[in-house]
């Protein structure tokens, strides 16, 4: 007969829960009403990483009981879940699932009958590292609002007991960190025993820890009232009609906490048996064997080999067409630059020799002629004049697609005027340069008088 395993990973301890023999993993077969329906074990975290301790505990239980067919692990937040998942993957654990601790606690509280008749509840989870208050709908399992704080925690309450014991003079201050940790553990034990008795006396190497219920409640009253104020604010911000508050976590069994919350909130406050193990028992109820999924089909070798050929064939074609186009344009630009440079040199020589006015006069006449010829050309309706020059997007995207075919347009241009006696053609294809006639430097000698 198969069994299941539920695990809750807290900051102070890792708790492992299994249903007793005779209970299976199905819904309704486990009897959560009975406090002894589960076998629960807690392992203190100490100085180890909590995810490593959780993996060790799961591995030890799976090795000891091969009948376990499914494991569910309750986590607090996404960062917590990622750390646990990474550690389990490193150890090659596969048959498990991660569930939020709020959902796990809600699962157990519903099956135990604690939440019967309540639609919207607030979960007050006071653990070793902090307090979480979550407003959740019991029917849809939807979390409406949640907040967490570390201002009040189990560790903080332990430190209050420690400082009170040192201040009383009965216990000397520990000389090192190891002694301080040992005293904190002793104060934690005293806090847990006070939930069932009115006073405790625990010996230690540094002295005797004496604490009564009255002194303990006086120490933690301000912190508990602060937590009740936070719970009230969370309920108000959620804008949901909260009908009850359920206390879970290791510190939920302190009697003062339930009394203060009832006074501050005015709604029923539920405290289940062993509230620190609620999440682990709820994870046990949620554990389901992992379904066998078909293995993923291997990547086809033929298709894999065809992909590089496709990538290797297209880019050279595109790059070669773009390269030819760019090379031809660079040639045209280079020839035009040489021509412009030659004209600038000739103009500079003419200005230095005093030909500037004549050259400028000829340029104005030629520009006027060009203007008149352009006007004459535009007055003739011709199909070729309606063609639009290629847009700039073609030049911009020339590297993305092959250039479009060029169309040779036939334009009618007037023949250039015949060269005059003083014109010199410097570059073929460009207008000739008019060289003015230089006046004689010295007057011609006069002829003999006749």
pLDDT at position 438 is 61
d(CA 217, CA 259): 11
Average pLDDT over residues 299-311: 36
The pair of structure tokens assigned to 392 is 């700039």
**Predicted pLDDT of residue 295:** 40
Q: What is the mean pLDDT of residues 417-423?
A: 61
Residue 181 to residues 162, 178, 219, 430, Cα–Cα distance (Å): 10, 5, 20, 97
The predicted pLDDT at position 401 comes to 43
Residue 36 banded pLDDT, cuts 50, 70, 90: low
250-274 pLDDT, tens digit per residue, is 999 999 999 999 999 999 999 999 9
* Token duo for residue 58: 């799961």
Angstrom distance (rounded) from CA 57 to CA 43: 8
Helix (H, G, I), strand (E, B) or coil at 269: strand
Distances (CA, A) of 126 to 81, 122, 205, 259: 19, 13, 30, 15
Task: Assess whether pLDDT exceeds 90 at residue 344.
Answer: no
pLDDT in tens, 100-125: 999 999 999 999 999 999 999 999 99
Q: Give 89-95 contacts, CB < 8 A, sequence gap 24+.
A: 91/55, 91/59, 93/55, 93/58, 93/59, 94/290, 95/69, 95/70, 95/71, 95/289, 95/290
Q: What is the Cα–Cα distance from 11 to 326, expressed in whole angstroms?
A: 67
Q: Which residue has the higher pLDDT, 278 or 410?
A: 278
CA dist list (Å): 116 to 37, 112, 180, 326, 367: 20, 9, 44, 80, 100
Token pair of 108, please?
A: 């157990």
Averaged pLDDT, 297-302: 36
Per-residue confidence at 94, pLDDT binned at 50, 70, 90? Answer: confident
Among 130-139, 226-235, 257-266, 368-377, the minimum mean pLDDT is found in: 368-377
Q: Does the structure show a pLDDT above 90 at 175? A: no
pLDDT of residue 434: 67
The whole-number pLDDT of residue 289 equals 81
Q: Dump the DSSP string for 12-74.
A: SEEEEEEEPTT--SSTTTS-TTSTTSEEEEEEE-TTS-HHHHHHHHHHHHHHH-TTEEEEEEE
Sheet holding 13-19, edge to edge: 38-44, 13-19, 3-9, 68-75, 97-100
Maximum CA extent, the chain: 160
pLDDT value of position 170: 87
User: pTM of the full predicted structure?
Assistant: 0.63
pLDDT for 323: 44
Q: Residue 445: is its pLDDT beyond 60?
A: no
Q: What is the pLDDT of residue 340?
A: 52
- What's the pLDDT score for residue 305? 36
What tens digit of pLDDT does each residue of 360-417 get?
Answer: 444 444 444 344 333 333 344 444 444 344 443 343 334 344 445 555 555 555 555 5
Supply the pLDDT for residue 5.
Answer: 95
CA 430 to CA 220: how far, in whole Å? 101
């Amino acid at each position: 007969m198969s069994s299941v395993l539920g695990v809750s990973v807290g900051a102070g301890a890792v708790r492992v829960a299994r249903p007793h023999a005779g209970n299976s993993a199905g819904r309704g077969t486990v009897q959560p009403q009975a406090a002894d329906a589960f076998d629960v074990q807690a392992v203190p975290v100490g100085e180890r990483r909590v995810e490593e301790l959780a993996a060790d505990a799961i591995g030890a239980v799976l090795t000891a009981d091969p009948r376990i067919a499914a494991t569910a692990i309750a986590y607090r937040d996404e960062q917590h879940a990622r750390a646990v998942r990474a550690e389990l993957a490193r150890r090659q654990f596969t048959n498990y699932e991660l569930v939020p601790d709020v959902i796990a606690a809600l699962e157990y509280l519903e099956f135990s009958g604690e939440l019967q008749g309540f639609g919207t509840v607030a979960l007050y989870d006071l653990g070793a590292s902090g307090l979480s208050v979550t407003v959740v709908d019991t029917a849809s399992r939807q979390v409406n609002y949640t907040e967490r704080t570390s201002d009040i925690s189990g560790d903080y309450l332990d430190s209050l007991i420690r400082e009170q014991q040192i201040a009383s003079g009965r216990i000397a201050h520990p000389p090192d960190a190891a002694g301080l940790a040992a005293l904190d553990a002793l104060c934690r034990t005293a806090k847990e025993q006070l939930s069932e008795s009115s006073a405790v006396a625990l010996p230690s190497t540094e002295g005797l820890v004496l604490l009564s219920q009255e002194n303990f409640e006086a120490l933690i009253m301000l912190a508990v009232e602060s937590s009740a104020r936070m719970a009230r604010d969370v309920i108000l911000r959620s804008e949901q009609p909260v009908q009850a508050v359920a206390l879970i976590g290791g510190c939920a069994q302190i009697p003062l906490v339930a009394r203060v919350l009832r006074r501050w909130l005015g709604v029923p406050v539920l405290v289940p048996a062993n509230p620190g193990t609620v999440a682990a028992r709820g994870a046990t109820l949620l554990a389901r064997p992992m379904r066998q999924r078909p293995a993923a089909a291997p990547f086809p070798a033929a298709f894999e080999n065809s992909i590089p050929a496709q990538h290797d064939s297209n880019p050279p074609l595109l790059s070669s067409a773009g390269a030819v186009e760019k090379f031809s344009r660079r040639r045209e630009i280079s020839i035009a630059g040489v021509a412009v440079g030659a004209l600038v040199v000739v103009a500079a020589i003419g200005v230095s020799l005093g030909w500037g006015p004549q050259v400028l006069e000829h340029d104005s006449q030629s520009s006027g002629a060009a203007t008149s010829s352009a006007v004459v050309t535009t007055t003739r309706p011709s199909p070729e004049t309606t063609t639009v020059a290629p847009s700039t997007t073609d030049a911009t995207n020339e590297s993305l697609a092959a250039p479009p075919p060029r169309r040779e347009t036939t334009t009618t241009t007037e023949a250039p005027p015949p060269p005059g006696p003083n014109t010199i053609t410097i570059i073929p294809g460009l207008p000739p340069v008019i060289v003015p006639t230089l006046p004689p430097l010295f007057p011609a000698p006069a002829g003999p008088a006749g």
